[in-house]
């Protein structure tokens, strides 16, 4: 077994990656709850590590032992643990401390190497900063979430079965299992791609759901969330800091145009026709002309006052975008929903130094990616 673990599985410019290293990296990715094909992700990461190590060795770059120890302690601190506590957790999953050490060492060496090698090549002018401010508007760093979603909309008489299915889904931790369930039971078009949503500002969600999402760990699923005529579940795939509007909206303006027939072919065809006719909420007045006043609602409400099902739809939309996933009157009426505007507080102060540092970081990352691509293209890699 020992010989099998030390057997080479990949060579990168004659430097070996062993089966043991590959197995250890896969386990580490499992602990980090990394989605996707872990074997492929581990192989690619180890190949990139070898390329980085060879380039670092060519320039004689190394890290002092005390700096490496501090970096490992900081890494453990992200999980709210001391390094000994984190080491014990890894050991319970069969991960050796040397695996963490190698992972952290390559990371900090490569980061510092890229800064020292390329920092002088980067010139950021005032015009660059102004351009970034114009592109971003008055912005700050806020949290975005990457979610999978399932909305179960049971027909009358099937509510108990739907609740049981939702309870089972809420216990899932596998992305593949959740996505398979979405394809089977979700009522939304996102079921076609396993319920996957794009990156969404967490401030878009209603406060009562936002707090639930923020409590999730990666891979974890919410408890079933009751919304009108349906049950919602969300699985967290990731979080990131992003440049977004400086404040969560104080109010949301939206329009709802009601189409008879629900999700019948005729109702959906009419909704698609309306979608092609309108660019803004004002255009809906022309669509609803000569129809009863209750056919069109245009509302401006605080996020907390909007019903959960409507709020979840609006969270996915930018101003001028529409959805027609919701129904009313026991499915007899289709809701054509359009986001008019998100209204935030007044503009804040732009931190020009933060914008400058962000531009520098983006350019360093681009140079690092280009260097790694060059190293990989010129390397001899044998599986």
CATH of domain 251-343: 3.10.50.40
Residue-wise pLDDT for 121-138, tens only, equals 898 887 777 777 666 554
d(CA 45, CA 17): 11
Per the prediction, the chain carries an average pLDDT of: 88
| Residue with the larger pLDDT of the pair 356 and 255 | 255
d(CA 110, CA 372): 11
Quick one: which of 129, 139, 73, 62 has its CA closest to 100?
73
Residue ranges covered by each domain of the chain: 2-121+360-382, 139-245, 251-343
Note whether 2-121+360-382 and 139-245 share their fold: no
Computed on alpha carbons and rounded to an integer, the radius of gyration of the chain in Å comes to 26
- Determine the pLDDT at residue 126: 79
- 3-class SS of residue 227: strand
85 pLDDT above the threshold of 70: yes
When pLDDT is cut at 50, 70 and 90, the band that residue 3 belongs to is low
Q: What fold is seen in the domain 2-121+360-382?
A: Triger factor/SurA peptide-binding fold (1.10.4030)
Residue-wise pLDDT for 347-370, tens only, equals 445 567 777 888 888 899 899 999
204 pLDDT above the threshold of 50: yes
Report the chain's terminal Cα–Cα distance, integer Å.
Answer: 21
- Determine the pLDDT at residue 378: 95
Confirm if 268 and 334 have CB atoms less than 8 A apart. Answer: yes
Quick one: which of 314, 329, 276, 145 has its CA closest to 222?
145
Indicate the pairing of strand 251-260 with strand 381-382: unpaired
Query: The CATH number of 139-245 is which of 3.40.50.2000, 3.10.50.40, 3.40.50.2300, 3.40.50.20?
Result: 3.10.50.40
* pTM of the full structure: 0.48
């Amino acid at each position: 077994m020992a010989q099998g673990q030390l057997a080479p599985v990949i060579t990168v410019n004659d430097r070996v990656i062993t089966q043991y290293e590959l197995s250890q990296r896969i386990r580490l990715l499992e602990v980090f709850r990394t989605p996707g094909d872990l074997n492929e992700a581990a192989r690619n990461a180890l190949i990139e590590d070898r390329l980085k190590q060879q380039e670092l060795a060519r320039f004689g770059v190394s890290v002092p032992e005390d700096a490496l120890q501090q970096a490992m302690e900081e890494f453990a601190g992200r999980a709210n643990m001391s390094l000994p506590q984190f080491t014990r957790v890894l050991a319970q999953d069969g991960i050796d401390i040397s695996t963490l050490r190698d992972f952290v060492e390559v990371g900090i060496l490569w980061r510092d190497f890229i800064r020292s090698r390329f920092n002088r090549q980067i010139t950021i002018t005032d015009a660059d900063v102004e351009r970034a401010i114009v592109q971003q508007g008055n912005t700050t760093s806020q949290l975005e979430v990457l979610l999978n979603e399932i909305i179960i909309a049971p027909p009358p008489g099937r509510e108990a079965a739907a609740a049981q299915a939702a309870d089972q889904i809420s216990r899932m931790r596998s992305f593949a299992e959740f996505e398979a369930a979405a394809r089977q039971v979700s009522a939304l078009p996102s079921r076609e791609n396993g319920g996957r949503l794009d990156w969404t500002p967490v401030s878009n969600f209603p406060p009562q759901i936002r707090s639930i999402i923020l409590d999730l760990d990666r891979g974890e699923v919410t408890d079933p969330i009751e919304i009108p005529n349906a049950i919602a579940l969300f699985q967290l795939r990731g979080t990131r800091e992003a440049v977004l509007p400086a404040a969560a909206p104080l109010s949301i303006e939206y329009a709802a145009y009601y189409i008879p027939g629900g999700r019948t072919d005729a109702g959906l065809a009419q909704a698609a026709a309306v979608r092609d006719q309108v660019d803004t909420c004002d255009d809906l007045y022309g669509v609803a002309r000569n129809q009863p006043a209750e056919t069109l609602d245009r509302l401006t409400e605080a996020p907390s006052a909007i019903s959960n099902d409507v709020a979840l739809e609006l969270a996915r939309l930018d101003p001028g975008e529409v959805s027609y996933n919701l129904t009313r009157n026991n499915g007899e009426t289709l809701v054509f929903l359009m986001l008019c505007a998100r209204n935030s507080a007044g503009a804040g102060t732009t931190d020009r130094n933060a914008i400058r540092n962000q531009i520098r970081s983006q350019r360093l990352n681009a140079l690092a990616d280009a260097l790694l691509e060059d190293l990989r293209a010129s390397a001899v890699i044998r599986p």
